[in-house]
């Protein structure tokens, strides 16, 4: 991230140790951070100190809970929001997405993982990509929607219509978490609880064809208790040679 184009992050977290650690990581990465220690301070900063590029929002907050803050902000803004939740709040995690959060992280998380999510979300939001764009290209994976063609490491993949739809749905928005229910509706086109398992078996087949190990995914990540997300593995690039 270039220093000339800092992104402003509103960081809402009541635990000082987490807030300080996350702020330090973000600042090191070139972000400008406005910290807020409770829900009221968060809304105050959001309304009186705009514009922000992204909000990191803890769910359990003093004064005004995170879900209320999220709802209030969503009423007036489509700013990207990442929710932070404690372990065991799976229902709340789903609710977080239903409230309009774009992504979430479960505590304890590594600041590095959070930064990766922040970057992915900003890329997704700020890419001027037409959602109808016809080609999705990631490291090692190329999807040509109208030609119904998928290439993995430059080799043709033989995918069924459902597998292709599933893969392109996930890959269109890297980092976004899809619930099984959403995938049933988007990929299979119907709406019935019993079919959520069908998504799991499609994902299983797709992973086999992509040679993707769920324990160390190159593309498709399982979000436990929720669904799936596409996040291509970052290949560490070789250090750039300096010109002499
Ligand atoms: Ca908290």
Whether residue 49 has pLDDT greater than 70: yes
Q: Beta strand pairing status for 141-144 and 32-36? A: unpaired
Whether residue 24 has pLDDT greater than 50: yes
Ligand 1 centroid to residue 37 C-alpha, Å: 9
Ligand 1 centroid to residue 13 C-alpha, Å: 6
User: Could you give the dihedral angle defined by the CA atoms of residues 101, 102, 103 and 104, in that order, rounded to the nearest 10 degrees?
Assistant: -10
Whether residue 108 has pLDDT greater than 90: no
* Three-class DSSP category at 100: coil
Ligand 1 centroid to residue 110 C-alpha, Å: 16
Ligand 1 centroid to residue 231 C-alpha, Å: 27
Residues 203-212 have pLDDT tens digits of 999 999 999 9
Whether residue 237 has pLDDT greater than 70: no
Ligand 1 centroid to residue 200 C-alpha, Å: 32
d(CA 93, CA 116): 19
Task: State which residues have CB under 5 angstroms from ligand 1, the bound ion.
Answer: 14, 58, 60
Ligand 1 centroid to residue 155 C-alpha, Å: 47
Q: Where are the alpha helices (DSSP H) in the chain?
A: 16-28, 39-48, 66-76, 90-98, 111-126, 161-172, 180-183, 196-210
Ligand 1 centroid to residue 87 C-alpha, Å: 11
Ligand 1 centroid to residue 242 C-alpha, Å: 45
Q: What is the pLDDT of residue 244?
A: 41
Ligand 1 centroid to residue 236 C-alpha, Å: 33
Q: What is the pLDDT of residue 201?
A: 84
Q: What is the pLDDT of residue 235?
A: 56
Cα–Cα distance list, 242 to 61, 235, 239 (Å)? 47, 20, 9
Cα–Cα distance list, 119 to 2, 9, 12, 37, 95 (Å)? 13, 12, 18, 23, 23
Question: Across the chain, what does the average pLDDT equal?
Answer: 83
Ligand 1 centroid to residue 57 C-alpha, Å: 9
Ligand 1 centroid to residue 225 C-alpha, Å: 21
In residues, how long is the chain? Answer: 244
Q: Count of alpha carbons within 13 Å of 232, Cβ hemisphere only?
A: 16
Ligand 1 centroid to residue 71 C-alpha, Å: 17
Contact present, 157 and 164 (Cβ < 8 Å): no
Ligand 1 centroid to residue 40 C-alpha, Å: 13
Ligand 1 centroid to residue 21 C-alpha, Å: 14
Whether residue 35 has pLDDT greater than 90: yes
Q: What is the pLDDT of residue 127?
A: 60
Q: What is the pLDDT of residue 191?
A: 54
Whether residue 174 has pLDDT greater than 70: yes
Q: Count of alpha carbons within 13 Å of 57, Cβ hemisphere only?
A: 35
Residues 13-23 have pLDDT tens digits of 999 999 999 99
d(CA 71, CA 213): 36
Whether residue 27 has pLDDT greater than 60: yes
Between CA 145 and CA 84, with CA 104 as vertex, the angle to 5 degrees is: 170
Whether residue 4 has pLDDT greater than 90: no
pTM of the prediction? 0.56
Residues 132-152 have pLDDT tens digits of 668 888 888 999 988 889 999
């Amino acid at each position: 991230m270039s220093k000339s184009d800092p992104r402003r992050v509103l960081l809402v977290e009541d635990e000082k140790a987490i807030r300080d650690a996350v702020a330090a990581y973000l600042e090191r990465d070139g972000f400008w951070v406005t910290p807020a220690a409770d829900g009221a301070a968060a809304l105050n900063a959001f309304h009186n100190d705009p514009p922000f590029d992204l909000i990191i929002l803890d769910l359990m907050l003093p004064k005004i809970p995170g879900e209320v803050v999220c709802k209030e902000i969503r009423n007036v803004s489509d700013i990207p929001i990442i929710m932070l939740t404690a372990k065991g709040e799976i229902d709340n995690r789903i609710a977080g997405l239903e409230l309009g959060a774009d992504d979430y992280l479960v505590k304890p998380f590594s600041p590095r993982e959070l930064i990766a999510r922040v970057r992915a979300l900003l890329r997704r939001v700020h890419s001027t990509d037409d959602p109808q764009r016809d080609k999705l290209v990631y490291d090692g994976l190329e999807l040509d929607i109208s030609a119904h063609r998928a290439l993995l490491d430059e080799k043709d993949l033989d995918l069924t219509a459902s597998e292709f739809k599933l893969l392109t749905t996930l890959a269109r928005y890297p980092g976004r978490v899809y619930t099984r229910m959403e995938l049933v509706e988007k990929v299979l086109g119907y709406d019935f609880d019993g079919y959520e398992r069908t998504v799991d078996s499609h994902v299983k087949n797709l992973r086999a064809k992509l040679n993707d190990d769920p324990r160390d995914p190159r593309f498709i990540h399982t979000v436990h208790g929720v669904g799936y997300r596409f996040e291509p593995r970052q290949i560490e690039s070789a250090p750039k040679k300096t010109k002499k």
